[in-house]
Amino acid sequence: MMMLRNLSGGGNLEAAGERAVRDNINSRGSLVTGGEAKQQFIRKWLKEKNAERILREQKGFDYARWTFYVAVGALIAAIIGIIATVLHV
């Protein structure tokens, strides 16, 4: 795992990754000893990343739901087409 020392900027946090930073904070690693300002910055960054992840997950769910409705609509159209073909003959 990457050493997480001297992480004071968002770019360094991005390079380490959200999970690595969160694990380091939770295990009382080197990020916890960086001072109160650094801890507040990291917590804010983690909250932003969490909000971004939730938004991404919601968009994925909405896309899956929309795809399901389109598939159901196509199925209904196909059934109507088959019934119309059978009754037409």
Q: What is the pTM of this model?
A: 0.57
Tell me the per-residue pLDDT of 65-77, one tens digit each, with 9 for 90 and over: 999 999 999 999 9
Q: Would you say residue 39 lies in a domain?
A: yes
Q: Would you say residue 1 lies in a domain?
A: no
Q: Would you say residue 36 lies in a domain?
A: yes
- The SS3 assignment for 3 reads coil
Q: Would you say residue 26 lies in a domain?
A: yes
Domain of 42? 10-88
Angle at which helices 36-88 and 18-26 cross, to 10°: 130
pLDDT at 34: 66
Task: Quickly list DSSP for 19-87.
Answer: HHHHHHHHTT-TTGGG-HHHHHHHHHHHHHHHHHHHHHHHHHHHHHHHHHHHHHHHHHHHHHHHHHHHH
Q: Would you say residue 4 lies in a domain?
A: no
Structural domain total, the chain: 1
